[in-house]
Each structure stands twice: as C-alpha cells, then as structure tokens.
Structure 1
Amino acid sequence: MKRIAPRRSVTTGLSVLALVAGLSACGPFGGDDDTSSAAKATARNFTVAASGDILIHPQLVEQARKDAKRTGKGTAGLDFEPLMAGVTPVVSKADLGICHFEPVVGKPEGPFESFPAFLVPPQITTAVKDAGYDSCSTASNHTLDHGYPGVVRTLDALDKAGLKHTGSARSAAEAAKPLVMDVKGVKVAQLAYTLGFNGNELPADKPWAANLTDLDRITAAEKAAREAGAEVVILSIHWGRENWSNPNRSQLRLGRQIAEKTGIDLVVGHHAHVVQPMEKVDGTWIAYGLGNHVARHDVPTGLTEEGAIGWFEFTERDGGWDVRAKFAPTFVDIPPDPDESGNLPEGVVEDHRLLDLATALRDPGKLSDQQRSRYRLAFERISGTMLNRGAADDGLEPLQPLP
C-alpha cells in the first residue's frame, strides 16, 4: 500500500470497516448494500478502468463508414460508436476511465494514413468519450508521426470530445501543468511517458511537445503533481517489446525502480499490442501491458485482437491507499476477408466489434459455436497471461468470472 500524508484522522476501526465493506460488496462493480454504504461514509474510495492501445487501422475506418450508413449518425460519413459500444458497460461504471490514444488525428474527411505514420479520423475521439473514458495518455512512439502540427490537432480533437489528456503538449505552459482530476473528492493525477518516437526527434524549439521516458523526469513529474494537490498519482507508460507476452528486462527494471523510488500509486503499461502480466511490486500494482484495446493489424496474430481493461479499486486506509486489482478480458472481432465476389462465408462475424468477453459469453444463444470457442480461448489465455507472474497471490482476478 502506498503511503501519503494523512489529510484527516482515520481511525483503525473505521479503516477495517471500509475494507470489509469493499470485500463484501456484491457484483463485479461493487454494490449498494448497507455495508457498502457504510464504507463510503467512513473512507474515501474510487475505481479506475484503464485500457491499452487505441490504434485505428484502415479496416476500422471502413467499418465506421459502413456503420454510419446503417445508423445515420457520425460525422463526415464515419460512426465509430458501434465499434466501441461493447466495452461501455464496463468502462462507464468506473469513477475514472483512462485510455491510451496512440495515433495522430487528421481532418474529419481525411485523407487518412496507416503504418508507419498514422493519421486517423478525429471522429474516434467522440466514440472513446461515449464509451466512458475521461482521460487519455498521448505519449507513444507515434506521437510525432506528423510533427508538432499533428500533436496540436490530436490534442484539439481530444479537447473537443471532452477528453482530458497528458503526455504531449501544445505549449510549454501546458506541458508544465500536471493533469490533476477530481474523482469522487480525491485529487488524482495522471502522468504519461513513452520509450521513443520511431526515430522522430522532438522539435529543438519545443522539447516539451511529448514526454520521453526517464526515471528522473518521472520522479520530478510526480513531485510536481503532488505539489499541485494530487493525492493519488497514476503513471501511463508506453514501453516494452512489441508482440512479446512477457515484460522484458528494461520493463522489469524500470517498474521496480518506479515502485521503490517514487510514490506513484499505479503503473499502467501499453505498446506491446499483446497482453502482458500484472504484478504487485513493493506494494505498487504494475500492469506491464494491457494489449490492444481496439486495433486491426494487417496480419492479425490472434493475440493482437486480445486485450484487457485493468480495474483498480482504491480505498483510503491508515493515511494511504489500498489498491485492489482486477481485469476484464476484451476481444476485437475481425471478419474474414471476402471472396473474389466480395462475399463472406456463411455464419462468420461480419463486423469489427470490440467486446467485453464476459458479457458476450453470458448470452451464448447469440453466438455461433466458433465464436463461443474463440471467446473462451481468449478469456482463458488473457487470464493465464495476467496471472503469469504470481499476481493471484495478491488477489488479482477477472472482474467477472468466465461464464
């Protein structure tokens, strides 16, 4: 448990009551029974839902175009709401929803670009907001794909959608101001850093445009956030090796340094595009990699469609924060390529959709045998990966069990 200077007196008896109430709350998102209400009256608490990479490939743009024709909604002929809707019941239940927004946005009508320099529709930001997210990290290896103008466009689009952001900036003043949010009366800061920019350089006259990972910089940023009133600090970090399901040595080393040498309360990682384990290190939960939240790589591997929403329950106890960690396995349905006549095989999925797997599997009557088997495999594989560094001993479990 991370320690902070107490803001008010919290007796041991009240703290124990709060903890017991949290453990007895019904349902995956807690409950409203008498015990839970008593806990809320005696100890501050809040929940965080955090996810991995949002990376919009051309196939997802075409899906949004197809959906706009069906719904009659969206902007400039693109509607990303149906793509994202499957995770709304989970994300919207959290008191704070944190996404990782990886690409650069362009104009609503395009043109759009894919790998290696992404330029995606700004319409996706509205769908992210409507799915329940409040804030996004914007420091990634793609942040500078289109230089400083791309940074400005992306942050302007997030502002317009009502999403807070951190990790890149339009001015030195914006870069220097910590992102501190009021979450159920608790001041929560989010920091964001990345391992690099795919060979692109920060502008010589704008070195503050994006945050490059460095332990001293992260430590200084946490100090600044605390001085700005933050009681909880969450670090979003873009790190690791792509397509590796295990954290590499640099992740493990830096994660331990962050846990041991800073007061950061939670570390949320992304970049690998596949799920990596969670681990509690020196009292701090580290999600090494939450996989892809929504993406559609040109060559899907099976693992790149899988992701996890990290679910973290913060409870103030004895002047610090007790954090319980869970996860919700997710999956992006990908239709097969059509035949030469443009037709899909009968009985296969026809649309790209981001799913909460537990919810999808609770209604098996709507699933084909193929879908049911694929979703169960994904759920079990994600769970096995998440627990691969012994986190079950620290209480890590799925937010909802496999139906």
Structure 2
Amino acid sequence: MGRSLAVLVALGGLTAGCTSGPSEAQVKPDGRSFTVAAAGDVLIHPELVEQAAKDAKKTGAGQAGLDFGPLMAGVKPVISKADLAICHMETPVGTPKGPFEGYPEFLVPPQILTALKGVGYDTCSTASNHTYGHGLKAVKRTLDTMDKVGLGHTGSARTPEEAQQINIRDVNGVKVAHLSFSWESFLNPTPEKERWAFNRLSTDDIKKAEARARKKGAEVVILSVHWGLEHYNEPSVPQLDLAERITEETGIDLVIGHHSHVVQPIQKLNGTWIAYSLGNQVARHSSPTGLTEEGAIGWFEFKETTDGWDVSARYRTTLVDIPPELEPGAKAPAGAVEDHRVVDVQKALDDPGSLSEDRLARYRLAEERTSGFLYNRGAPGGDGLEQFSSRE
C-alpha cells in the first residue's frame, strides 16, 4: 500500500487516461487517488509445474522443489508499483508435494500463491468454474494458504459466515471493496448444502454484495467477474447484457473480467470501465493457440472529485513465452525461447538487448493483436484507452 503514483513514468506502456475526465472545477482540492493493476487468469498447467521444478534446481529457492518466482518475475516491475494489485486465482491448490492435476479438474501447487505475493499482488478473486472442483476441503486449503502468504481473497468461503463477509482494503486512505462472482461449473456442481462456498453470477446477488460493502464503509467497489465463452475475443451476448445491468443498476466503480483465456475489449459503458477479459496472466494450454499466451494488465487510476471518482484506464501487454518442443537430443534454434516466462512485452520491445528477430516479431504481434482486441468496442476514441512506449 501507499506505493508511489510516479510509476506512470517508470512503467511506460501505461498511458494517459480518460480524455473525458473531470474538469479542473470538478477536481476535489486535496482529493485522494490510487492506482489499481489487474490481470487475467492464473492457470497452472502441468508444463508450468515442470518449469517450476526446473527453476528450483537452479535457484535453490521455492518449496518442496518448486519455484514459480522466475516464471512470474517479468511482471513484478508493473504489478508491484500499483497501490492495489488484483489477480484471479482460477483453481484450488493442493499440498506442496502434490499430487497435482491439470485440465479439467485442476489441483495446482500452492507455491504459486507465494510467487503471486512475491511479484506484488495484494488480493485475488477466487470465484470460478473450477473453485469447487475438489470440494470444500480444497476451497478451505486454498484460502488457508492465501491467508498464510498474505494474499487477500474474495469470491469463495470456508463457512457460511465467511461468505457474507466483504473484502475491504485501505488503499491510500480509501476504503476499497473487492467482490468476485462466477458462473457454476457443470463438471463439479456445488451441492445445495454448500452453495455458499463460492459466489454465483447473479445481478441481484451482486447488488446485495455491493450494498453490504457500502454499509461497511466502502467508498469504491471493484467487481471481478468470471463470465463469457472460452477462446472468443469478443464478449458474448450474456456478457454484454450483464455489463449493461451492472453499469445501469449498481454503483460498482470498475469491472474486471476473465475466463475466456484470450483478450477481449475494454469499454467505458454508462460511465464505468468494463474489462471484459484480460486474457491469461499465466497459462500453458496443452495446445497453445498463440492467443492463449497473450494477456493484458489493466491499469486504472482513481481520482477523487467533487462528484465521486474519476477513473482512467490504461494497459500493458503481456505474453507467456513457450519453449519449442524438441525431439530427444535435439537442440533449439539459436535465439529460441528456453523457459516458460511471463514477459512484459513493451519492456522487451523497448530494450531488446540480444533478443532474436524472431522473438521480437512475436512480441510485436502480441502487442498489435492485443491492442486490436482491447480497442474493439471503441475505447481508443473518446474513452481514452491508450498505450505508449516505456521510453516516453
């Protein structure tokens, strides 16, 4: 908390915000402000567990032979600078030594939570279609581990009483509530007696949660929502309809979406920013499409005005580097990716060092394609969603 807002210069690819912001007359004298960084799904596939084992042998760090720190280190300069950094923990965690499972019944190493905290995340949404995949025991284990490493959480609960609590954090002197809702899993539906274990997507329930947050003193309410269709870069009709209802019928200040595993637009709707999907923060699907490796960190600056809060939106492109699959004994081409890594694309392009032209071409494609998807509902116009070089 209390991190410097001067990072907008240091971070670069996070841009000047909303052109339709408040006039000077509306800016509150001595008004408060804070920044929020948010990213997409954290989805630990088996290949990433293998990478963490490989890295642990090199670093001697981690726990039980797994170190996810090197995998995530590329986003630390951005995430750690936000006053509030929000991740989406897609799956339940197991015990440090496993066993672990991949798709569709994910059970992932708890060591990833230590890495998320290490790069600067403060709190995570935990409501997803995988939340209850291993029952209430895994829900409890996940939240216990998050408590242990110092990560906040919202969206799932260990008891009915906890399900009614609201995650409110003090951010630069502002009480900020974080809510999280998701659609239900058809693979492992939650039994009726434990339906309180995670928040199901419902406009009425979102309204009730916001009301509880406001009653507890929340001045800003941020909603994380797990919705839409996988692998579609455009929001679905139900997403668009729900976004309309949220922005018309609630006072929620920002909506952060995920689940599609690809980037979808950021749009200012009825005065509220909606990030329909920020893609994957980290994942390694068994059949990578290129799009599933691309993601965005949303960067939102809140400024207090005489009428409430003005929010400007920016973004930073990310990419998960994937090493080539080689036959036993074969050598990778010169300049090829050697390890799975989450890459800050703009930083790599602005300071390429000895990176090969092939890798730079891949980063340029990610940057261009991500911006295209983000802008696809008009944000680069009057809404002011932009991106610029880290050297500006």
Give the alignment's TM-score, normalised by structure 1. Answer: 0.89
Paired with 2:391 and 2:64, the residues of 1 have a C-alpha distance of 39
Partner of 1:288: 276
What secondary structure is seen at the aligned counterpart in 2 of 1:87?
Answer: helix
**In the TM superposition, what is the alpha-carbon distance from 1:111 to its structure 2 partner?**
0.6
- Encode CA deviations 1:149-168: one digit per residue, 9 max, x unaligned: 11011111111110000000
Matched ranges for 1:166-185 at <5 A: 166-185=154-173
Q: Is the 8 A contact 1:326 1:397 kept in 2?
A: yes
Partner of 2:112: 124
1:330 aligns with 2:318: yes
Partner of 2:337: 349
**In the TM superposition, what is the alpha-carbon distance from 1:207 to its structure 2 partner?**
1.9
Partner of 2:81: 93
Of 182, 192, 197 in structure 1, the residue corresponding to residue 185 of structure 2 is 197
What secondary structure is seen at the aligned counterpart in 2 of 1:366?
Answer: coil
Partner of 2:369: 381
What secondary structure is seen at the aligned counterpart in 1 of 2:241?
Answer: helix
Q: Is the 8 A contact 2:113 2:149 kept in 1?
A: yes
What secondary structure is seen at the aligned counterpart in 2 of 1:384?
Answer: helix
Paired with 2:115 and 2:289, the residues of 1 have a C-alpha distance of 26
**In the TM superposition, what is the alpha-carbon distance from 1:227 to its structure 2 partner?**
0.3
Q: Is the 8 A contact 1:142 1:198 kept in 2?
A: no
Matched ranges for 1:3-402 at <5 A: 26=9, 28=12, 42-341=30-329, 343-393=331-381, 394-398=383-387, 400=389
Q: Is the 8 A contact 1:148 1:203 kept in 2?
A: no
**In the TM superposition, what is the alpha-carbon distance from 1:400 to its structure 2 partner?**
4.2
- Encode CA deviations 1:16-71: one digit per residue, 9 max, x unaligned: xxxxxx99x7554799xxxxxxx997110000000000000011001000100111
Paired with 1:176 and 1:110, the residues of 2 have a C-alpha distance of 31
Q: How many residues align?
A: 374
- Encode CA deviations 1:301-352: one digit per residue, 9 max, x unaligned: 0000000000000000013000000010000000011213264333311100
What secondary structure is seen at the aligned counterpart in 2 of 1:396?
Answer: coil
Q: Is the 8 A contact 2:94 2:109 kept in 1?
A: yes
What secondary structure is seen at the aligned counterpart in 1 of 2:179?
Answer: strand
**In the TM superposition, what is the alpha-carbon distance from 1:401 to its structure 2 partner?**
6.0
Paired with 1:263 and 1:200, the residues of 2 have a C-alpha distance of 33
Distance change in 2, residues 1:226/1:400 (3 Å):
farther
Q: Is the 8 A contact 1:329 1:398 kept in 2?
A: no
Paired with 1:196 and 1:203, the residues of 2 have a C-alpha distance of 11
Please, which moves more after superposition, 393-402 or 74-83? 393-402
Q: Is the 8 A contact 1:358 1:402 kept in 2?
A: no
Matched residue type, 1:133: Y
What secondary structure is seen at the aligned counterpart in 2 of 1:208?
Answer: helix
Paired with 1:179 and 1:227, the residues of 2 have a C-alpha distance of 13
Distance change in 2, residues 1:265/1:400 (3 Å):
farther
What secondary structure is seen at the aligned counterpart in 2 of 1:225?
Answer: helix
Paired with 2:341 and 2:122, the residues of 1 have a C-alpha distance of 21
Distance change in 2, residues 1:293/1:399 (3 Å):
farther
**In the TM superposition, what is the alpha-carbon distance from 1:198 to its structure 2 partner?**
3.2
What secondary structure is seen at the aligned counterpart in 1 of 2:296?
Answer: strand
Matched residue type, 2:160: A
Identity %: 59
Structure 2: tracts of 5 or more residues without a match: 17-26
Q: Is the 8 A contact 2:76 2:120 kept in 1?
A: yes
What secondary structure is seen at the aligned counterpart in 2 of 1:365?
Answer: coil
**In the TM superposition, what is the alpha-carbon distance from 1:210 to its structure 2 partner?**
0.4
Matched residue type, 2:288: P
Distance change in 2, residues 1:402/1:59 (3 Å):
farther
**In the TM superposition, what is the alpha-carbon distance from 1:399 to its structure 2 partner?**
6.0
Please, which moves more after superposition, 122-131 or 356-365? 356-365
Paired with 1:211 and 1:218, the residues of 2 have a C-alpha distance of 9
